[in-house]
Chains A and B, each alone.
Chain A
């Protein structure tokens, strides 16, 4: 039996609950992601996908509902437990890279381990391993300003992977990349996924989504539809996503 990495049940999020105009961003979302899955969440602006990602990333708390990640009910965590959980179990890749310009590549990648007071020798070993895996071994002493967009995002991915997370969250990670670099990154994510790392990708780009194994469509705070790539080529899946978007967005 496959293990569930994420299990969400009847998730609600209401902003400005006690004001005159409360806004319900999530209206009873339920789904699950199994270990080793590569799931995409697609939706237009304002559909609730960022709210969903923030709650999954333990950066925001739901108004009601249940969120389990790797068997832990994250809604019950204290802030310290959340911090520990984020650094041990979750990895993040942002659209805007979010690298620290003043630290070099090595220091940027090692940051999550430093914040957790990991032994320096072990941390160094881990950084080297991950850098080799992502082809960053020659760039370790470079600073972010000396890197291309694609290289920056690979550093961000290395930082996300360095603490061996249970799942990686990608928030429009190809948004700031050109098509070649975007393709490279997606190939790399697919490769990481094939080694057993679960990935949840939030995107509105059909091309990025076509690299996922399963796609959940979110609209007006609800999961509307689901597509699976099983048995399809990436191109076929891409066409199917486009078709789905054509009908779903209307």
Chain B
């Protein structure tokens, strides 16, 4: 009978449960996808991406578990808000706390088990689709990647069951501690109290100060070192909370005093939003922080990949250096687009390598150097060498040329001589070809082919010790690819969960709002105004955390810029923000549509 009551409760509010189910299914599917990669031993141990990703993946797992717990608690809160009245009635009819506890646990676990099972199946499908997509889009050499992976299935099932048991126990505890009468009448009650102005202003000021402190500390990472992140974390979390708890409330109070408030049902819309923001402080703060984390993860992931050419160029201006290229090599080089070639003749004697000075005059060798433009770490610049520099064996162009020659010439002295002298030197004649490529990322496929050929022709060991930047480019690309994969994956997962958390929270208040909108309808408010009011209210709830999240990321990126970890950070920020906001918008639209459908009373003449 108890089980029947639980199940019938689910059946009765099927439409609400579908929203909840889909959210839970998504959470478990995301977790499965992640674990299918992170736990896959073959994948992790036998590919460079896998190896470099191991640490990042375990860190990602922990983050994902934390956000999943928060998500499940919110989703359950939504579930329980739908059941308050029924449980209140059971208590009134004499059900003991233990019985109510059993019922709640039973219901939570049933919902949990079903959604997790479906989620794992969905996760297997998604892993297949998304891994293919990411591998192609991000050019990740992912081998040994299995969509159906038993350890991932088990870890997802076990973790979700533990989370649901925890959520069930927490729900049961909070329910049994609430009086039956309160539960029975829960739909008509609110906890809203008008906050005191002085306290509001104090908190708002504190919020701004905390955020400013956080941004300042992230900006000064070089001076504060590790402390910067710690200070940033604490102050930004506190600041965000206070901003929602008071700053936005004050802004809305100002709006209430403006002319805008007097138009249409704006007064209702603004008042509702004010009430909501105050009521939703915690969730809005969490959403805002997760928004920052998610967008930050994507931005840093993409930014690292974008900054790859700079990282590689810091080693050498030339991506490829080849002595006497084979015909195959020449063919591959010819296929590479957007390149500059420097060709030098060499004559090698026992102790020296001779070059024609005239060739270096016509094609000066280029070298990377760091110029301090207010940045203590220096900004990378590629400079052309002057002939005078070449005579100095300690100069950068001289040193670079030495590393770009054949590996066995490292101890040879380099001599730049006139054409006449060069022709008189007797020694082995070689042809050194140095290649610069403008768009390294754009040519990554042909560069990879050249790299592979070099390894075949010269052996991996020799290639490792070469001075060209290709070796560093290929090595770092593997690491950055996994970071990008992780950033994009975690970012999207966080976004999906934070947006659903917000959606659940908003939708869980739908019953209370229904009567308000019915009342507005009765006093003659048009359907259009009602729908617009909903749109604006939900826009506020989605928009404000997003705005604060964007600002957080904007300042947070300074940390990476100042530590010279990211190049073109704000370009990556712009791209990722657009993509991110587009996805976020989808959640907003879905929430608005569901809300409008449930809350706005149907017009009498509607068929």
Contact = CB atoms under 8 A, between A and B. Distances in A.
A100 interface: yes
B95 A59 contact: no
A122 to B, nearest CB: 14
A40 interface: no
A100 B86 contact: yes
A85 B96 CA distance: 10
A64 interface: no
B8 A80 contact: no
Contacts of A45: none
Sorting the interface of chain B by its residue count into under 10, 10 to 19, 20 to 34 or 35 or more gives: 20 to 34
Interface string B62-102: 00000000000000000000000010011111111111000
Nearest to B11: A102
A75 interface: no
Given A59-B180, A60-B181, A83-B91, A100 B8 contact: yes
Contacts of B98: 80
Contact of A103 (B8, B93, B94, B95): B8
User: Chain B binding site: helix, strand, loop or mixed by DSSP?
Assistant: helix
A57 B88 CA distance: 13
Contacts of A129: none
Given A100-B8, A103-B8, A114-B1, A80 B93 contact: no
Contact of B99 (A60, A88, A110, A115): A115
A245 interface: no
A116 B94 contact: yes
A112 interface: yes
B94 A84 contact: yes
B8 A102 contact: yes
Interface in A97-154: 98, 100-103, 107, 110-112, 114-116
B93 A115 contact: yes
A217 interface: no
Interface string A59-101: 1100000000000000000011001111110101000001011
A32 interface: no
A92 B93 contact: yes
Contact of A59 (B2, B12, B99, B181): B181
A101 B12 CA distance: 8
A54 interface: yes
Give the most central of B8, B11, B179, B180: most A CB within 10 Å.
B180
Interface string A214-243: 000000000000000000000000000000
Contact of B93 (A101, A107, A112): A112
B95 A115 contact: yes
Contacts of B180: 59
A112 B97 contact: no
A86 B9 contact: no
Given A54-B181, A114-B1, A83 B94 contact: yes
Nearest to B12: A102
B330 interface: no
A80 B176 CA distance: 10
Contacts of B8: 100, 102-103
Given A59-B179, A103-B8, A86 B92 contact: yes
Nearest to A54: B181
A92 B92 contact: yes
A80 B97 contact: yes
B494 to A, nearest CB: 36
Give the most central of A83, A86, A100, A159: most B CB within 10 Å.
A83
B97 A83 contact: yes
B179 A80 contact: no
Contacts of B89: 98, 100
A211 B86 CA distance: 31
A5 B525 CA distance: 52
Contacts of A98: 89, 92, 184
Contact of B94 (A54, A100, A112): A112
Contacts of B1: 107, 110, 114
Contacts of A159: 93
B179 A87 contact: no
B2 A114 contact: yes
A159 B93 CA distance: 9
A80 B5 contact: no
Interface string B2-14: 1011001101100
Contacts of A115: 90, 93-96, 99
A190 to B, nearest CB: 24
B94 A87 contact: yes
Contacts of A84: 94, 96
Interface in A15-35: none
A80 to B, nearest CB: 5
Interface string B150-192: 0000000000000000000000000010011100100000000
A107 B4 contact: yes
Nearest to B98: A80
Contacts of B93: 86-87, 92, 111-112, 115, 159
A5 B528 CA distance: 57
A111 B180 CA distance: 16
Nearest to A58: B180
Contacts of A90: 94
Contacts of B176: 79
B94 A86 contact: yes
Contacts of A85: 94
A85 B94 CA distance: 7
Interface string A160-183: 000100000000000000000000
A78 to B, nearest CB: 10
18 contacts: A59-B179, A79-B96, A83-B95, A84-B94, A84-B96, A87-B93, A88-B94, A90-B94, A100-B8, A100-B86, A101-B12, A102-B8, A103-B5, A110-B1, A111-B90, A115-B90, A115-B93, A159-B93
| 3 nearest CB pairs, A to B | A87-B94, A102-B8, A86-B94
Given A85-B94, A98-B89, A114-B1, 17 more contacts: A54-B181, A59-B181, A60-B179, A79-B96, A79-B97, A83-B96, A84-B96, A87-B94, A100-B8, A102-B8, A103-B5, A107-B4, A111-B93, A115-B95, A115-B96, A115-B99, A163-B94
